[in-house]
Structure formats: C-alpha cells, structure tokens
Amino acid sequence: MSKFHVSTNVNGDSVEYLCDPRETLLDCLRDKLNLTGAKEGCGTGDCGACSVSVDGRLVCSCLMLGVEAEGKQIETVEGIADGDVLHPLQQKFIEHAALQCGICTPGILVAAKSLLEKNPNPTEEEARYWLAGNLCRCTGYDKIIRAVMETAEELREAS
Amino acid sequence: MDYHSPANFAEASALAASATGITRFLAGGTDVLVQLRSELVTPDTLIDVKKIEGVSDIIRNADGSWTIGVAATGAEMSEHPELGGDWPGVVEAMDLIGSTQVQGRATLTGNLCNGSPAADSVPAMVAAGVTVTVTGPDGDREVAVEDIPTGPGKTSLAKGELVSAVNIPARGDNGGDAYLRFIPRTEMDIAVVGVGVNLRLDGDTVTEARVSLGAVAPTVLLVEDCAKAIVGSTLGDAALDALAAAAFAACNPIDDKRGTIAFRTEVAGVLAKRAAKIAYARAKGEQA
C-alpha cells in the first residue's frame, strides 16, 4: 500500500508528511511532526484532548484523517504562545491553577482560544457549553471556567 | 484501505460500484472514523466526498427551498443567517449532536447514512419532508429521508449509490417546525426519545402536519396517526391527548441502559405534545 504525500500548514509553517490513509491527523501531528501537545484521550471524539483548529474551525484531530489535512491551515497548542511570551489564556490557567495532570489542558486552551475569537464576551453558560466537549477529570472545571472568563474580560479591556 | 477523493459524484459512484469488500463514504467522519479506529468497521475502500465542488454549500433556491451540501457541517448550519429562521427544528436537531468539535465536522447526510435509530437530525428532517438526492450508476433519484434507514446501521442505498444533496422544502406561509429529545443529562448524549413536528396553520387551525419519532423503533418513524390527531384542530387539550396516544401506540422501542420500554413510550407522548406546541407557536410567528 502506497503512502500519501500531504502538504499542509501548521501554526504558520508549511509542512509535509507521508501517511497511511488510516492514520488520523492526531497521529500525524504527534508521530510525524513531533507536535505532541494534542493528546489522545479517547480516540472517539468524546474527550477533546486532541482539539486543534482546522481552517479556523475547532475539531477533534482524532476524528480527521491525516490525508484530509492537505492544503489546510492547522493551529495547535504549540502555536498559541508568542515565542517565550505566554498567551493570556495560558497565563490565566497558571494563575488559577486551572490544571492538575495537564492531559486535557492543550485541548482546552485551543478550544477556549477558539471561543474567544468567535465570542469575545461569552456568558459563563456559553463558555461551559462551548467547552462541554473537553473533559477534565481533575479540576472539576470551575478553575478552568474562571480562567477563561477572566481572560475574556482582560482581553476586552485591552482591546 | 484505499483512499479516494473523487472530483464529482458520478466518479464517487463509479468507484463504489467497482470496489470490492467494504466501502464507506467519508464526509465529516465523526462516525466513520470512530468505527475505523475501534475496528468495528474497517473499510477496504474509503471515498472522501469533500473534494467535490459545492459539497459545503447551503443554498436557498429561487422557490424558497434549500439545498444543503453533503459536507455542510452542523456549525455552518447553525451560523447560517436564514436557514434557522425557516427551519429552526432541523437546525436545532442538528445542533444537539455532540460537542463544538463534533459540530465542526458532523453533517446531516452522515447522521442519516449512519443509520442510527437515535440520530437527532433524522426525525426533524422526516417531519420537515426533506428528501435526499441519491446518485448511483444509473443516475440520480430523489428519495424521502424516511425511506433511507432500514434498520440500525442499515440503509436502502444500493452498491454504488451515495447521497449527493439534501433537499429541504420551501418553508411557505404559516408553518413551523420543532424537534425535542430526552437525554438523562443536559448535553452530549444520545437520544432516549426524539420527536420532530412540522405543521401549517390556516388561522388557528392545523391544516397540515408531519410527526416523526426517533429512538423508539429500529428506524426513525413517520407517524401518520399523530398527524391525523392534530390536523383540523386548534391544538387544544383533546387534540394534544390524541397526539400523545398516537405516539404511544406507534412506539416499538427496546430496553437498554438509557431507557426502558415503558419510559420511552411514555416520554414519546410527552415530547410530542411539547414539540407540537412549539411548532404551533412558531407557525403563528410567536417566539418559541
């Protein structure tokens, strides 16, 4: 079986890889591009730990094949910080201790960034529904939601 | 597994017609990839339809009807400025499926062709009178949504056939639709019972109705007795009770971890009444 050659763009960089058509985008990001921020929690689209943005749309990278990434713009957690300067969401997650084991954190950061880009002024309910596909078994979610809501407020004041 | 991304539906149909073993079409992939990764279904041939021109389009035709591309996602339907105004029940049903991430990929066509009796968008489509265009080796044919599923995980599509468009009728005047489902939590679950209602009024009187039940039989049901119970009425208590009784009688569910036969049957009647009231209010132009 021949492999497919895929040209795509991840966090602003043009990248290429060869993949088997059965490999997911998550497999390709982690095993071919060494971008191990996105995690495989469930592999069935339930937990959101593999969340990435594809052409501006939040998706589970475990529910998309590597071959489907041809010509797309992909954003992962590795592209959130600006060099050594953390994204405001990352800073707030640290301040609020909105993570414990950290497995869900990359997916939640990507999902929360996507929320604030679409809706800079979400209600707490909107934030909770938006993040309902990102499971966290440590924090009980409150610290995560507080971090997201406070980031939203600060970003609004800064703009 | 062979992966193909044909440029048009005729080519997709020809690929499927000549393929051996298991063939799957890939739109959003939210069911196909889960089945692939869990080794429930390992296709020999996977045909990705997303490279076909126009498959993500949501188009309002000159006569007021809608054509939804087979790869248009739930998120794109919810964000559309006018689709939800015409068909709020269909859009809300699609929006109930899965998380934000799943909404970014999942499609009406995938939800239909996965063949789940509990698929949320399917009762809403059946109530709305939606048809799909099926492309096959002999050309195109138009099929009512209720004629696609034949049992859990099974469809009436023959080898070499695939859905190439979803056709929603024109809303027309004084009409409204609604979809409600019961799940044991507030979000992210599979319907225990789902009910779609679509009706049209003349003044206060219901003149046309279609009622569909999900998750209470091996396929989504179009229940004519439910429609008969409310046509000619002003949706008073007697008509609503008759509607619930007809829904109750149409149920043929299973017992499983999400709900018992008795529970599903009872809830089908309750939800049918509530969905009918919402559709009625919408048909009168009221907020619901």
Residues with Cβ within 8 Å of A42's Cβ and at least 6 positions away in sequence, in order, are A49, A62
Question: Closest by alpha carbon to A2, among A62, A71, A67?
Answer: A67
**Which two structure tokens, joined as six digits, stand for B257?**
């971890």
* CATH number of this structure's domain B175-283, picked from the four choices 1.10.10.10, 3.30.390.50, 2.102.10.10, 3.40.50.720: 3.30.390.50
Supply the mean pLDDT for chain B.
97
Give the nearest partner residue to B46 out of A21, A24, A59, using CB atoms: A21
Q: Looking at beta carbons, which residues of chain A come within 8 Å of B98? A: 45, 133
* Maximum Cα interatomic distance, chain B, rounded to a whole number of Å: 58
Interface of chain B toward chain A, CB-CB under 8 angstroms: 1-3, 5, 26, 28-30, 33-34, 36-38, 46, 48, 50, 73, 75, 98-102, 104-105, 187-188
Question: What domains can be seen in chain A, in order of their start residue?
Answer: 4-79 (3.10.20.30), 88-158 (1.10.150.120)
Cβ contact B98–A67 (<8 Å): no
SS3 B185: coil
Cβ contact A57–B75 (<8 Å): yes
pLDDT at B288 over 70: no
Distance CA B211, CA A159 (A): 49
Cβ contact B26–A65 (<8 Å): yes
Question: Closest by alpha carbon to B272, among B193, B201, B218, B200?
Answer: B193
- pLDDT tens per residue across span B205-231: 999 999 999 999 999 999 999 999 999
Q: Looking at beta carbons, which residues of chain B come within 8 Å of A131? A: 100
Pairing type for strands B205-214 and B2-4 reads unpaired
Record the pTM: 0.96
pLDDT at A45 over 90: yes
- pLDDT tens per residue across span B141-171: 999 999 999 999 999 999 999 999 999 999 9
Q: Looking at beta carbons, which residues of chain A come within 8 Å of B46? A: 21
Residue A119 touches partner B, C-beta closer than 8 Å: no
- pLDDT tens per residue across span B80-136: 999 999 999 999 999 999 999 999 999 999 999 999 999 999 999 999 999 999 999
Pairing type for strands B149-151 and B154-155 reads antiparallel
Q: What is the mean pLDDT of residues B54-71?
A: 98
* pLDDT category of residue B187 using cuts at 50, 70 and 90: confident
Cβ contact B29–A59 (<8 Å): no
Q: CATH classification of B2-116+131-168 is 3.30.70.100, yes or no?
A: no
pLDDT at position B138 is 96
Distance CA A122, CA A146 (A): 12
Chain A, chain B: beta-carbon pairs less than 8 Å apart = 84
pLDDT at A123 over 80: yes
Q: List the beta strands (DSSP E) in chain B.
A: 2-4, 23-26, 45-48, 58-60, 66-68, 131-136, 139-144, 149-151, 154-155, 162-168, 175-182, 193-202, 205-214, 221-222
Cβ contact B98–A45 (<8 Å): yes
Q: What is the mean pLDDT of residues B159-188?
A: 96
pLDDT at position B33 is 97
Domain boundaries, chain B: 2-116+131-168, 175-283
pLDDT at position B112 is 98
Which residue did the predictor score with more confidence, B174 or B38? B174
Cβ contact B3–A4 (<8 Å): yes
Using alpha carbons, list the distances in angstroms from residue B14 to B113, B136, B156, B254: 19, 8, 18, 38
ipTM value: 0.96
Q: Which of residues 46-85 of A touch B (CB under 8 A)?
A: 46, 48, 51, 54, 57-60, 62-65, 67-68
Buried b (16+ CB within 10 A) or exposed e, B230-267: beebebeeebbebbbebbbebbebeeeebbeeeebbbb
The percent of residues in chain A predicted with pLDDT above 70, rounded, is 99
